[in-house]
Structure 1
Amino acid sequence: MNAHHPKAPAAGLPMPAGYWLLATRWGGRELSLLLPRRALTVNLLLLLLLALVATAALGLGSVRLGPAEVWHALWGEGPALHQLVVRELRLQRVLAGIATGAAFALSGCLMQTLARNRLATPGIIGIDNAATAFAVASVVGTGIALAPPAMSLVGATTATVLAFGLAGGSGTRGYRFIIAGLGIGAIAGAVTQLMLSRVAIDLANAAFPWTVGSLNGRSPGATLLLGVGLVVGLALSLRLARTLQLVQLADPVSIGLGVSLRRVRRQGLALSVLLTGLAVAVAGPVGLVALLGPEIARLLCRHRGVPLLASALAGALIMLLADLLGRLLLAPLEIPVGIVTAVAGSPYLLWMLLHPSSRSQP
């Protein structure tokens, strides 16, 4: 839900507009909770759309299945061919798409909130490219023994530390941090291309999907690790939700309300780096999802809060829909999901750059 969680009104006070009140008794005590109607409705709508697109992704392809056949196959019923197609060939890809999209978008929402700038996504400030460079280094055999997921986390952390160091005292605020990240991303991208140009063609082909973003043939182990990291990251993010909402205020105001800005930014950035690194380890750099997911969530929620859960759901929906389009548009040829999201998201990014008011704080 949206990150705005006001306390329930005391007895006799009027109900605030736009909220539902849930009340119950537990152990002789009256417990109540206010739920924002629009945020709850948006999250349920996004969840429903995600289920519909996931069903379509499981059913569409060279072997086409209806929704009923898909659900029967998921439960281990129906013809063996249907079960093979759904459970063995397509389910892992769908799960990878949901997890990576949610992780990228949640990471972007955290980064934008901390920087109070909608351009400050992990992809824009170089975290994606650095994580990709380190992951490719492990794939092409540069003498580094760590697995791609671990290496991508190292790369994401390295990019963040360098961006902070180059930004000096400005931290995540202002365009110095973004410009430093752009430079780091450009260097990381050049290093990736250099590594690919100096290895055998077979190794370069194996590492190529990491450079453009793809959900084809993803490792179940990496997807499982991302799923665990996503659950933990989402839980910790929701725990920070009220504080993140206060961080959007001016620094003196936030400090006056008792917020430890250094601690909150450190925790938020750590979660963003973790989610980005794990997502890149599965799908490669699909960073524009981190830009589009939070934007769609804010547009739908129409609230000044931090739409963490809505961002994650919107990101998962974007990633899954982009992968489905990439599989179907030029079938039997496949367009990597990173290219589809780049084509869809680049015009919006250009619009943001040409309209300074759109870059204001989330």
Structure 2
Amino acid sequence: MAERRRILFLLLGLAVLAALFMAWRLGAPYGYIIRIRGIRLGALIATGAAVGAATVLFQAVTRNRLLTPGIVGFDALFVFVQTGLVFALGATSVAGLPPMAKFLAEAAVMAAAATGLFGLLLRRGAEDLLRMVLTGVILGVFLRGLSGLAARMLEPSEYAVVQQASAASFGAVDPAQLAIAGIVLLPVLGIALRLAPALDAAALGRTGARAVGMDYDRLVLGTLLLVAALVAVSTALVGPVTFLGLIAASLAQAVLPAQRHAALIPAAALIGAAILVAGQFVFERVLGLQSTLAVIVEFVGGLLFLFLVLRRSRP
């Protein structure tokens, strides 16, 4: 009952933030402004919820609260795709690509790469999780190196296009892309909630979970595929926000007394969405700034990561 009340409180808080975001200093032309704000609000909520839930799922199967899906190179892959497009086609051709086709291609590439990584490295069972994480880290470094090398060969104007495309931005989201993201994300989140009891049992580890009759390897692979879908679609929609999930998952674990995934998943999703909506409201409506939110989220998330590492390393 306490968990339900706290989740309802988080939902109410998100609703209040959304109302403030939509109504603050609303002026004419009302219809146009409401439409623009609604699209931006939808992108903020979808991205925050997807990244927050994905991080809880990833931490559940890795049994490590310091890890996020970004650790296996999702953000590096996204930057590599943007750099590769500009390097191969040129800035003018990339700017002329149909936005919907580009969005679908980016989401498909990231989802396929993650699925291939998970499937290849877990073919011998879920005990290969550590190897998967380490391989993801190495691949991320490799892709960042390739992106940096290609960026040095670009013209300054082309490099500016890469920088703009690689940074998370909530200001110019296509409504059709947002609709497709919602169509994908909502069922995935629903499946994640159905898996919540099994994820609680997965905390016993592979041996313990198999002792109670659970197909642990299948659960891990299925959960990682859900993570791949959530992160791929949200990243293709607005760009990478690596440490947002760590903040949302850590706050969800601090808010909820019982660490049941049936509560942790929606709590992290609501907190992730609330962080983005509140941050965008402050920077855009109150301070009049535009592209600062992602930088601040990454900075705070990096500090939280260091704090968690140092706290865990204490005797």
Give the TM-score range, shorter chain.
Answer: 0.7 to 0.9
Relative contact order higher in (CA < 8 Å, ≥ 6 apart): 2
Residue 224 of structure 1 aligns to a residue whose secondary structure is: helix
Q: Is the 8 A contact 1:211 1:284 kept in 2?
A: yes
Percent identical pairs in the alignment equals 26
Instruction: Tell me, in whole angstroms, the C-alpha distance in 1 between the residues paired with 2:311 and 2:125.
Output: 24
Aligned equivalent of 1:142: 88
State the partner residue of 2:74.
127
Residue 218 of structure 2 corresponds to: 263
SS at the partner of 1:297?
A: helix
Tell me whether 1:345 sits opposite 2:301 in the alignment.
yes
One-letter code aligned to 1:340: I
Question: 1-side partners of 2:49 and 2:311: how far apart?
Answer: 27
Structural mapping, 1:52-91, within 5 Å? 52-60=16-24, 64-65=25-26, 80-87=28-35, 89-91=36-38
2:270 to 301, 313, 337: 313
Quick check: 1:253 aligned with 2:208?
Answer: yes
TM-score, with length taken from structure 2: 0.85
1:1-362 residue pairs with structure 2 within 5 A?
A: 37-60=1-24, 64-65=25-26, 80-87=28-35, 89-138=36-85, 140=86, 142=88, 147-159=102-114, 161-162=116-117, 171=126, 175-306=130-261, 307-328=264-285, 331=288, 333-356=289-312
SS of match in other structure, 1:123: helix
CA distance in 1, matches of 2:71, 2:53: 15
Shifted more, 191-200 versus 262-271: the winner is: 191-200
Deviations 1:183-217 (A, max 9, x none): 22222233334444444555444442332211110
Instruction: Decide which structure has the larger Cα Rg and report it.
Output: 1
Structure 2: distance between partners of 1:42 and 1:309? 11
Aligned counterparts of 1:150 and 1:55: Cα–Cα separation in 2: 34
CA-CA distance at 1:301 after TM superposition: 1.2
1:167 deviates by 8.6
> What is the DSSP-based 3-state SS (H/G/I as helix, E as strand, rest coil) of the residue aligned with 1:147?
helix
CA contact (8 A) 1:128 1:277 kept: no
- When residues 160 and 128 of structure 1 are mapped into structure 2, their CA distance, relative to the original with a 3 A threshold, is farther
2:214 aligned counterpart, secondary structure: coil
1:49 alignment partner AA: G
TM (norm. structure 1) is 0.75
1:139-184 CA-to-partner distances (Å, cap 9, x unmatched) read: x263598623332332344256447757996857665443332222
Secondary structure of residue in 2 paired with 1:96: helix
Which amino acid in structure 2 is aligned with residue 343 of structure 1? F
How far residue 296 of structure 1 moved from its aligned partner, in angstroms, is 1.3
The answer to whether the 8 A contact 1:149-1:277 is kept is: no
Code of the aligned partner of 2:22: L
Cross-structure match for 1:34:
none
What are the ranges of 5 or more consecutive residues in structure 2 without an aligned counterpart?
none
Structure number having the greater helix percentage: 2
Distance (Å, rounded) in 2 between the aligned partners of 1:233 and 1:341:
25
Greater CA drift, 248-257 or 100-109: 248-257
**SS in structure 2 of the partner of residue 217 of structure 1:** coil
Which 10-residue stretch deviates more, 233-242 or 183-192? Answer: 183-192
- The alpha-carbon deviation at position 245 of structure 1 amounts to 0.8
* Contact 1:131–1:153 (Cα < 8 Å) also in 2: no
Larger % of strand: which?
1
Q: CA RMSD in A?
A: 2.7
**In structure 1, distance between residues paired with 2:255 and 2:180:** 30
Contact 1:46 1:314 in 2 (8 A): yes
1:200-236 CA-to-partner distances (Å, cap 9, x unmatched) read 5554444423322111101222211111111011111
Return closer, same or farther for 1:117/1:164 CA change in 2, 3 Å cut-off: farther
